């Protein structure tokens, strides 16, 4: 299926039969990525007495329980309710799902004892473009991101100035291939989360942060159409499936 769309007064054609899925699925094994010091997610058949809800074990259906944490076990999308005293649901506040998006690639720079991404880098990568969503691929970009245990690794993170820059550019949806836009251990400051959602100003309840994506090298930097889908969890975060579509002029 091909369709014509208009983004920033420019006409494009999108081939919806060629999705570029940048989500990481949840699997019940040690191959699942994990962060925040949790164990792997668990997917197993319901058991009642001797009855096991698995066709392979004599049941007529497969009927599984799923135990996972959206923040720790794969691609997830969160709203400001992640860090506010009042509970806000991402399902309640993310109401549209198609956005203009720009894929950029950033290389972390040394900063004290950390690796970080700076406003200067973000400005250079984004240029004059002002999309609704920004998709950040970080280097090195190995497939190990799809199965890595991130706990205690002090991953690279966005300096607060980057989140402020994206917010001031009007970007509503920030996607990154790391467990968090902030430092793993920062004494609860969460500077980039707070800056992007503007918790000290007018709280941006319609803005989201999506973490733990994976953008393969075959997806080039540039402009795309983003379909950002979440499961209907009334929670601050939900597992999600961001999908990119190439824009044909």
pLDDT at 179: 98
Q: In the predicted model, what is the mean pLDDT of the chain?
A: 97
Cβ proximity of 208 and 94 under 8 Å: yes
> Reduced to 3 states, what is the DSSP secondary structure of residue 205?
coil
Smallest Cα–Cα separation from 102: which of 175, 158, 164? 175
CA pair distance 180, 167, nearest whole angstrom: 17
Residue ranges of domains in the chain: 2-26+71-246
Query: What CATH superfamily classification does 2-26+71-246 receive?
Result: Putative cyclase (3.50.30.50)
pLDDT in tens, 158-191: 999 999 999 999 999 999 999 999 999 999 999 9
Opening angle at CA 220, ends 211 and 217, nearest 5 = 70
Q: What tokens appear for 76 in the block?
A: 């997830």
Tens of pLDDT, residue by residue over 206-249, are: 999 999 999 999 999 999 999 999 999 999 999 999 999 999 98
Angle, nearest 10°, between helix axes 119-126 and 160-168? 40
* pLDDT confidence tier of residue 67, bands split at 50, 70 and 90: very high
Measured in whole angstroms, the distance separating CA 38 from the mean position of its chain's CA atoms is: 19
pTM above threshold 0.85: yes
**Among 100, 214, 108, 221, CA closest to 158:** 108
Torsion of CA 214, 217, 221, 223, to 10 degrees: -60
The predicted-structure confidence for 109-135, as pLDDT tens digits, reads as follows 999 999 999 999 999 999 999 999 999
Q: What distance in Å separates the CA atoms of residue 158 and residue 17, rounded to the nearest whole number? A: 34
């Amino acid at each position: 299926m091909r369709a014509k769309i208009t983004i920033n007064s420019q006409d494009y054609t999108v081939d919806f039969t060629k999705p570029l899925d940048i989500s990481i699925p949840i699997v019940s094994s040690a191959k699942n990525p994990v962060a925040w010091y949790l164990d792997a997610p668990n997917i197993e058949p319901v058991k009642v007495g001797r009855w096991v809800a698995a066709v392979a074990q004599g049941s007529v259906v497969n009927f599984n329980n799923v135990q996972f944490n959206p923040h720790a076990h794969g691609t997830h999308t969160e709203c400001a309710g992640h860090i506010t005293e009042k509970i806000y649901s991402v399902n309640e506040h993310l109401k549209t799902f198609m956005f203009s998006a720009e894929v950029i690639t950033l290389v972390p720079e040394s900063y004290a004892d950390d690796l970080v991404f700076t406003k200067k880098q973000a400005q250079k990568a984004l240029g004059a473009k002002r999309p609704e969503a920004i998709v950040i691929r970080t280097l090195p970009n190995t497939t190990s991101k799809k199965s890595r245990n991130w706990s205690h690794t002090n991953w690279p993170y966005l300096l607060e100035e980057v989140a402020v820059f994206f917010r001031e550019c009007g970007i509503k949806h920030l996607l990154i291939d790391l467990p968090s836009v902030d430092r793993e251990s920062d004494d609860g400051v969460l500077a980039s989360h707070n800056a992007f959602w503007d918790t000290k100003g007018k709280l941006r309840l319609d803005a989201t942060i999506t973490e733990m994506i994976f953008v393969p090298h075959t997806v080039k930097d540039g402009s795309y159409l983003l379909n950002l889908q979440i499961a209907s969890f009334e929670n601050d975060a939900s597992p999600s499936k961001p999908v990119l579509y190439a824009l044909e002029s």
